[in-house]
Structure 1
Amino acid sequence: MSRPTRPGGVNVVFADHSSERGGAEFALVRLLQTSQPWHPTVVLPRAAPGATNVFAESLPEGVALVQTGPRHVARQQGGSGALAAARLAAKILASAFDLARLRAVRDADVLVANTTRASVYVAAAGALTRTPFVVHIRDLITEDAIGGPATHLMRQFVLPRAAGIIANSRATLETVLPYVRTDVVDVIPSPSGLHPVDPATVTVPATVARIGLVARIDPWKGQELLLRAFASACPDGGARLVFFGGPSFGHEEFLRDLNALARELGVEERVEFAGHSSDIAAAIDSLDVCVQCSLRPEPLGQNVLQYLSAGKPTIVSGEGGPAEWVADRDNGLVFAPREVESLAAAIRTLIDDSDLRGRLARRAAATPDLLVDEEIGIRIRDVAERSANW
């Protein structure tokens, strides 16, 4: 049953299970910084004292922020086995009931689940309050990507009840389409803060001084793979390797492991762990070659869109969302997923061939459909409005 939307725009409640520095969280912040005619509220779990909260730091005036319900942790921090599953189920149920009790939710025209975990308790809250909901698909909904129980819940409980689906790539959409009943479906890249440069203005330096990856420090983002490939491609000095991004979701130990590996490989003096950067554009601008090298298929790869938009010679893994944006030797180089020597060969190719670097950089900037956040916001608002009346 549809409900009439209010004059001046829909009331939208966005729910996220985390306030840490993750791609989904930054994307939602950027979305809410666009000038859409809606009335948004963000609902998050209660955070631990002193914890990072990207929403509290960045939400514009006029966006309400509510924190309620139990704190959620990343899957690898929650443990495994029946007891861990029971604890997670209890948290999801508690989150659903807390969400349903909120005045903002009862008054909402539509709920939007910003992450996979949030979508489970948003679906339950939507059923309790009879409020239509949208699921923002930012993960590949497969057992390899999110685990068996989460995949089952998404396919059997969440997706069939969703009034709207936003997929961040065709790759993510393909994993959910068989389970979706709504016709309000769109593929929309996440807001990534793009400022596309004019291809005619793009130049590259004569030599490669800085090779880099912009991604949170997380084993599946491929920092170890890139570190080993860099050591193989540049064993005798020259270029530096720069990692922009800090550890989130409990991966501080992995950062220590990466530092130890850099020492072991003999490249410690040429590897920089720059930490989290609040100025992504400046970080990317400081690099001569940009890399995406995740160890499992990236649903989208916001960093890839940022690299292309900046007109940077770009190397990506040949699977998932990035492979939808980069064609080998057209607007970037594509390497065989998870293969150190394939990535090393791509790095060596760009170091050795300045003409190729220049051509790929200009073609990167000319990549079709690199949308600015305002354009993406309009499309997401359209899905929210259509779903409210589904």
Structure 2
Amino acid sequence: MSAQERRLRVLHLDHTDAAGGAELALVRMLQARPDWTAILQTPPLASGPSVWDAMPPGVPRRAVGVRQPAGASSGGPLALLGFAARLAVQAIAVRTSAAFRTADLVDANTARAAAYGALVARLSRTPFVVHLRDLVEPEALGGAGHALMTRVVLPRADGVLANSGATLASARPYLRPDAIAEVVPSASGLTVGAALRLSADEPLRTVGMLARIDPWKGQAELLEAFARAFAGRDIRLQFAGGAPFGHEAYLESLRSRADELGIGAQVDLLGHVDDVPRLLDSWDVAVQYSTRAEPLGQNVLQYLAAGRVVIAADEGGPTEWVADGENGLLVPPRDVDALAAVFTRLDEDPALRARLSGAAAATPGLLDDLAVARAHLEVYDRVLAAPGRPVP
């Protein structure tokens, strides 16, 4: 029986309640009411507000095992031993849970969840699907994380959902020949076809970056480039995103540096923003400038769908969506002078801004969250239909 002929029972594994890209993507996809029965399972989480509070009320949330703290895979031998012990305990807790026993398929939403999920899958015939939202490289996953991903997770995966072609290419050497592997962009809250396009009659007023506050997301580089191009002008720079993984000190350093550059009064640090479409409608230029290659860059998809003038670093997943000079501008990565020069070019050419805005909104392949969910279901169905799989 195919997944479409009855409601599939999918156990979604995640290891945290921080508002990271993976967690927000899963919330958005399940808010679209996909055609499967979803259960979310996490380790025990701290009390207080959680990204999972936005889950639809019909999605059960189950907590089992032990907490999986951020950064636990880095450090010395004792830290790694503790990390391994937590993974083992979590795997046992998942394997013995009622949610696992009744699931037709397990979907690991993060690399950490995939690590303990793969341990469970090795002791079960339950189909195991892995979301890949990071390049399979030591720089992105850390040394221990990369070893787990390449030696334990990917060799066991029955299916892989990669957020970009670059991400999938980095994983292919470690996949089984019979693994189902597809590129499906993360659910990014897109409203396709409803963009407010910029007019050539309007001045450039606001530049923004939508990304969690993290040194590798490039907020510091954007700050420097903005100061070189727009200091003292009636133009604002807005950073939208929380600091969920212990980067409060970096956030404060951005405030201090903005004051040192003389642009403190032009810079807004907005924190986490729930109404992203409304925020993007207020921006003219939207920037992705991570200091290492992004596997996808959900913010780039959001910028395009909103019809903003998109600037992106010329590497990684964003280059699969942005064609330089056509629907956005690509800038050499880690080059503040080049980024500042692009700002000046856009400031001086309102017709270019208007043209890029219109082309961004017309970018082919942009998917709303329900379309993303349907693409997931197609992959689930193919995994379940693979030879030798038990019929759910």
- Give me the TM-score of the superposition, normalised by structure 1: 0.95
Equivalent position of 1:171 in the other structure:
166
1:152 is aligned with what amino acid?
Answer: A
The SS at the match of 1:176 is helix
Map 1:198-277 onto structure 2 (within 5 A).
Answer: 203=199, 206-277=202-273
Structure 2 residue ranges without an equivalent (≥5): 387-392
CA-to-aligned-CA distance 1:271-293 (integer Å, 9 cap, x gap): 11011111010111111110001
1:306 to 302, 305, 309: 302
CA-to-aligned-CA distance 1:134-189 (integer Å, 9 cap, x gap): 00100001011111221121111111111101100001001001111134111000
Work out whether 1:371 is the aligned partner of 2:371.
Answer: no
Contact 1:106 1:129 in 2 (8 A): no
Cα distance change of structure 1 residues 274 and 161 upon mapping to structure 2, 3 Å threshold = same
Contact 1:246 1:275 in 2 (8 A): yes
1:229 is aligned with what amino acid?
Answer: A
Question: What's the offset of the Cα at 1:122?
Answer: 0.5
Work out whether 1:334 is the aligned partner of 2:330.
Answer: yes
1:374 is aligned with what amino acid?
Answer: L
Question: What's the offset of the Cα at 1:269?
Answer: 0.6
Equivalent position of 2:281 in the other structure:
285
Structure 1 residue ranges without an equivalent (≥5): none
Whole-angstrom distance in 2 between the partners of 1:125 and 1:274: 40
Question: What's the offset of the Cα at 1:197?
Answer: 3.1
Work out whether 1:343 is the aligned partner of 2:334.
Answer: no
The SS at the match of 1:311 is coil
The SS at the match of 1:225 is helix
Contact 1:109 1:132 in 2 (8 A): yes
Question: What's the offset of the Cα at 1:39?
Answer: 1.1
Contact 1:199 1:366 in 2 (8 A): no
Moved more, 29-38 or 213-222: 29-38
Contact 1:205 1:288 in 2 (8 A): no
Whole-angstrom distance in 2 between the partners of 1:33 and 1:200: 24
**What is the root-mean-square deviation of aligned Cα atoms in Å?**
1.8
CA-to-aligned-CA distance 1:19-60 (integer Å, 9 cap, x gap): 11110000000111123221110011111233x4111x1111
Map 1:100-249 onto structure 2 (within 5 A).
Answer: 100-181=95-176, 182-197=178-193, 203=199, 206-249=202-245
The SS at the match of 1:139 is coil
Cα distance change of structure 1 residues 270 and 59 upon mapping to structure 2, 3 Å threshold = same
CA-to-aligned-CA distance 1:228-251 (integer Å, 9 cap, x gap): 111111123221100011111111
2:219 is aligned with what amino acid?
Answer: Q
Equivalent position of 2:11 in the other structure:
13
Whole-angstrom distance in 2 between the partners of 1:317 and 1:218: 16
Question: What's the offset of the Cα at 1:226?
Answer: 0.5
Question: What's the offset of the Cα at 1:196?
Answer: 2.0
Cα distance change of structure 1 residues 199 and 4 upon mapping to structure 2, 3 Å threshold = closer
Question: What's the offset of the Cα at 1:205?
Answer: 5.3
Whole-angstrom distance in 2 between the partners of 1:253 and 1:201: 37
Contact 1:197 1:311 in 2 (8 A): no
Give the number of equivalent residue pairs.
385
Whole-angstrom distance in 1 between the partners of 2:128 and 2:203: 51
Equivalent position of 1:23 in the other structure:
21
Equivalent position of 2:377 in the other structure:
381
Contact 1:134 1:163 in 2 (8 A): yes
- Give me the TM-score of the superposition, normalised by structure 2: 0.94
Cα distance change of structure 1 residues 24 and 204 upon mapping to structure 2, 3 Å threshold = farther
Whole-angstrom distance in 1 between the partners of 2:151 and 2:175: 10
Whole-angstrom distance in 2 between the partners of 1:174 and 1:311: 29
Aligned-residue sequence identity (percent) comes to 44
1:156 is aligned with what amino acid?
Answer: R
Work out whether 1:81 is the aligned partner of 2:79.
Answer: no
Equivalent position of 2:39 in the other structure:
41
